[in-house]
Amino acid sequence: MKFLLLDVYPNKPYRINKDQNGGYGTANNYGFGNSLISKILRFVVKNSVDFPPHYLVQLAGELINSGYEVKYSRNIIKNENFDIYLLSSSIVCHETEIETIKDLVKDNKIVFVTGPFATNCSEPYLKAGAKVIKGEPEMFFHKFNKDVEYLINLPNIVENFPTYEIDDLALPGWKIIFDDYVPVMKFIGKGPAISIYASKGCPYSCFYYCVYPLQQGRKLRIKSPQKVLNEMIYFNEKLNVKNFIFRDPVFSIDRKHTVELCEKIIDLKKNFKIGVETHLKNIDNELAHLLKKAGVNLIYVGIESSDTSVKENASRMSDTNINQISKINYLEKIGIKVKSMYIVGLPADTRETYQNTFNYAKKINSTYAQFNVFTPYPGTPVFKEYENKITAKKYEEFTQNELVFSHNKLSTKDIFEMLDDSYKLYYSNPNWVVKYLLSKIKKIFIH
Ligand code: SF4
C-alpha cells in the first residue's frame, strides 16, 4: 500500500506553520502592518523558520516501520498514484485543505484527514468527502498491518483506537520530509533543524483558551531521556541534523526528567543547538545553567499580560512580574536568547491594560518579542463563550494576528493599531537596538 502525506498551504508572503499553536497553526502576517519593521519581520521569519507538523512526521515513521511506501508533499502529486492520501489539518490553512480534498475526491481518491483541528472540527472535512481520524493519528497507525480495503470500509470518523506509551512509538519519518525539503529554524542555528518531543501534555489552568491540551491532553506523558537521545543521535548521523526544536508544551515541567536529559546531551559532547518552549515557573538559575550547557540557546516563554486581573479572567497561571523579569534577565545574561510572547486583546483587556503590558514588554526587553491577538479556538472551553460573537468569515483568518470576534472593549481598528504599534515600537526601542547591536559586536569578537 502506498501513502501520500499531504501538507498543503495557501500561497502567502508570510510564514505559516501548522505545528505551532497545538497543531492548529499560526501565520506570521504581523497584522498586515505596512511599516518597514512589519515587512522586515515577515521576510525574516518566512525565510528562517520552516518545519512540518510533528504528528505527520511521526505518522510517516509508523507507516515506514510497518513496511509501507510513504511520500510527503506540499502539493498534490499529479503524475503518481497513491492508494491513500493522508492530509494534515489546521485552522490556518483550512479552506486550502478543503479545496484540496474536493480536487482529490473528484478524482476518486481516498482521503483521510488527521490532526487536532480536524479532531475538533470534523464537519467541513467530512462534507468535502474525506474521512477523519480523530485523536493522535500516529497511535492509529502504530504497528498497522491492514490493507486498502480495510481503510476504505472504515466509518467516516475513526476514533477510540488504542493509545500507546510515547516510548513505544517508532522513529519519526524525517527522511521522507528531507526528500521534499529541508526543515530549518535559523534562530537556533544554521543547517537542517527538526522538531522533537521529550514530553507531551500540559496540566496547567490556561487550557481554558490554549490549544495544546486539546492536542495532547492535560496529563503529562514523558519520553525516556535515553529514547530522546537516541533520536537525536540517529538524525544527527543519518541527516546531519544538529539543531533540535523541542515542541513540548512546557519543556522543563518535570525537573528531574529535564536534568537527566540535559546531562545525557552534555555527556554526548555533540554541540547540538536546541530551542525549547517552557513556563517561567519551571525555570531556576541552576536549571538555566544546565540548559545552556546542553546547548539550549533559545527559549520561548509565554508572558501574555502584565495585568493580574486580566490574566485571572483568562485563567492564566503565571509567575510574578518581578520573578519573570529577573528570570529572563538571568537567561539572557548567561547567553540564552529569550522570545517573550504577549497577547493583545485578552477578553478583559482595555487599551490601558494593554499599554501597561506593552510597557512591561519593553522593560523585559528580551531578544525577541511576539505579540499575538487573543483568539478563541473551536474546541477550547473559552470558545463556548464566543461562538456567537465570531466575526471572521474564514478559518484562515484565525492567524493570531487578526481580531476574529466582537471584543467587548476593543474594536478591530484598536487591535490593528495595538498590534502594529507593538512591533514598530518594540523593535525600534533604543534599549532594544543597543542590546541587539552589542550582541552582534560580541558575536564578531567571539568568533
Ligand atoms: S502552560 Fe498554559 S499556555 Fe502553555 S501549553 Fe500549558 S495550557 Fe497552554
Sheet holding 337-344, edge to edge: 193-196, 243-246, 273-278, 296-304, 337-344, 368-373
What are the helix and strand counts (H, E) for the chain?
Answer: 18, 18
> Residue of the nearest CA to atom 5 in ligand 1?
249
Fold (CATH) for 2-9+53-166: Rossmann fold (3.40.50)
**Using a 6 Å cutoff on CB, does residue 209 contact ligand 1?**
no
| Residue 301 Cβ contacting ligand 1 at under 6 Å | no
The CA-to-CA distance between both ends of the chain, in Å, stands at 51
User: Whose CA is closest to 358, among 287, 429, 254?
Assistant: 429
**CATH architecture, range 182-446:** Alpha-Beta Horseshoe (3.80)
Residue 150 exposure: Cα atoms within 13 Å on the Cβ side: 6
Three-class secondary structure of residue 88 per DSSP? strand
Sequence-separated (6 or more) residues with CB below 8 Å from residue 353? 305, 307, 310
Query: How remote is the CA of residue 96 from the centroid of ligand 1, in Å?
Result: 28
| Atom from ligand 1 closest to the CA of residue 316 | 2
Ligand 1 neighbour 201 (Cβ under 6 A): no
Q: For residue 263, give the H/E element and its range.
A: helix 255-268
Ligand 1 pocket residue status of 279, Cβ below 6 Å: yes
Q: What is the pLDDT of residue 402?
A: 92
Rounded Cα distance between 435 and 423, Å, is 16
120 Cα to the center of ligand 1, angstroms: 18
Residue 36: the pLDDT is 83
CB 49 within 8 A of CB 193: no
Interval between CA 214 and ligand 1 midpoint (Å): 11
37, 43 contact by CB (below 8 A): no
Q: How far apart are CA 338 and CA 433, in angstroms?
A: 16
Atom of ligand 1 nearest to the CA of 205: 7
Strands 26-27, 16-17: pairing kind: antiparallel
Pocket test for ligand 1, best of 26, 211, 216, 250 (most atoms within 8 A of CB): 250
Provide DSSP, 223-257: --HHHHHHHHHHHHHHH---EEEE--TTTTSSHHH
Q: Are 408 and 349 in contact (CB under 8 A)?
A: no
- State the cell numbers at 245: 526544536
Reported in sequence order, the residue ranges of 47-187 that DSSP labels E, i.e. its strands, are: 49-50, 69-73, 84-88, 111-114, 131-133, 157-158, 184-185
Q: Is 302 in the pocket of ligand 1 (CB under 6 A)?
A: yes
Q: From atom 8 of ligand 1, which residue's Cα is the shortest distance away?
A: 210
Tell me whether strands 157-158 and 26-27 are parallel, antiparallel or unpaired.
Answer: unpaired
CA of 345 to the centre of ligand 1 (A): 18
Residue nearest to atom 6 of ligand 1 (CA): 202
Q: Which residue reads 521522507 in cell numbers?
A: 176
Q: Ligand 1: which residue has its CA nearest to atom 4? A: 249
Indicate which atom in ligand 1 lies nearest the CA of residue 213.
Answer: 7
Gap from CA of 22 to ligand 1 centroid (Å) = 10
Task: Check if 4 has its Cβ closer than 6 Å to any atom of ligand 1.
Answer: no
pLDDT at 253: 95
d(CA 217, CA 219): 6
Strand-pair partners of 44:
none
Ligand 1 close to Cβ of residue 206 (< 6 A): yes
Q: How far is the CA of 21 from the centre of ligand 1 (A)?
A: 10
CB atoms within 10 A of CB 25: 29
pLDDT at residue number 442: 78
Which residues are CB-neighbours of 377 under 8 A, at least 6 positions away? 24, 91, 209, 211, 214, 383, 398
Q: What does each of the 447 residues of the chain score in pLDDT, given as a tens digit?
A: 999 999 999 999 899 999 999 999 999 887 666 778 888 889 999 999 999 999 999 999 999 999 999 999 999 999 999 999 999 999 999 999 999 999 999 999 999 999 999 999 999 999 999 999 999 999 999 999 999 999 999 999 999 999 999 999 999 999 999 999 999 999 999 999 999 999 999 999 889 999 998 889 999 999 999 999 999 999 999 999 999 999 999 999 999 999 999 999 999 999 999 999 999 999 999 999 999 999 999 999 999 999 999 999 999 988 899 999 999 999 999 999 999 999 999 999 999 999 999 999 999 999 999 999 999 999 999 999 999 999 999 999 999 999 999 999 999 999 999 999 999 999 999 999 999 888 888 777 765
At 32 the pLDDT is 60
Torsion of CA 212, 216, 218, 219, to 10 degrees: -150
Q: Cα 290 from chain centroid? A: 24
In the chain, where are the structural domains located? 2-9+53-166, 182-446
Atom 2, ligand 1: which residue's CA is nearest?
Answer: 206
Close Cβ partners of 6 (under 8 Å, ≥ 6 residues apart): 73, 74, 76, 85, 86, 87, 88, 100
Surface-to-core class of residue 123, CB atoms within 10 Å of its CB (0-12 exposed, 13-18 middle, 19+ buried) = exposed
Nearest CA among 338, 417, 41 for reference residue 27 = 41
Task: Match 486539546 to its residue by C-alpha cell.
Answer: 214
CA of residue 318 to ligand 1 center, whole Å:
10
Domains 2-9+53-166 and 182-446 share a fold: no
C-alpha grid cell, residue 122? 470534523
DSSP 390: B
